[in-house]
Amino acid sequence: MPARAHSASADSVVAVTTSDDDQAGPHPVLVGRKVTLRPGRPGDAPKLRAILAEPSVSRWWAEPDPVEVIEEELRGDDSAVLLVVEIDGEVAGGIQYNEENDPMYRHAGIDIYLGGRFQGRGAGTEAVRLLAGFLFERRGHHRITIDPAAANEPAIRCYAKVGFRPVGILRQYERGPDGTFHDGLLMDLLRGELAPVPSRRRRPLRRV
């Protein structure tokens, strides 16, 4: 899909079980300091489509799918799940994962998009870290991949902060909005390489 030595600290990541998540089910609610990842609700699909149509997103994701397709993705299936990224009660984007369950090649893949207003604030890094932790700890994966466009430097920096490492260039991997094929960058993350959640900086006390 085209987004650890330490697991995330308990005070920054709260996995909330839902009716279909009692046995590490595929549609969790994951809560971080800035973002919440949750299953889709009625009315989410048009908001996600509007985000996908924003220039800062569509340059990497191309023409958005119809609302009906996004609704189907939110319902998920046996191999792919789309969750909503929520910030301060607003739909900020989507994050999805797929699972390869062949025992010989078992792993998961992640992808993410955020609306322009929510980019550059650390939300993407936290969302990817939350989902990666879930895939390692609850879904039992040992390896996760992500494959941004090779020219998408902000996304690559975001994933590197989580612990993803470059594997190699995927030449002429994906057709862009201009109709030409562009390179992708395959990155992966192994269990035990997940970067820890940065500690909060404490402000020095002022003397009165």
Match 């895939």 to its residue by tokens. 135
Lowest mean pLDDT across 72-81, 126-135, 146-155, 164-173: 72-81
DSSP 67-83: HHHHHHHHH--SSEEEE
Lowest mean pLDDT across 1-5, 67-71, 171-175, 186-190: 1-5
- Which domain CATH number covers 33? 3.40.630.30
* Domain-located, residue 161: no
Residue 109 pLDDT: 98
Residue 8 pLDDT: 34
Q: What is the tally of structural domains in the chain?
A: 1
Match 């094929």 to its residue by tokens. 181
Range of the domain at 132: 14-142
pLDDT tens sequence across 7-35: 333 333 444 434 444 445 889 999 999 99
Residue 106 pLDDT: 96
* Domain-located, residue 160: no
Rounded CA separation 7/132 (Å): 10
Q: How far is CA 124 from CA 3, 69, 115, 129, 179, in A?
A: 8, 23, 10, 8, 27
Match 């697991």 to its residue by tokens. 7
pTM: 0.84
Rounded CA separation 166/172 (Å): 17
Average pLDDT over residues 55-82: 91
* Domain-located, residue 41: yes
* Domain-located, residue 2: no
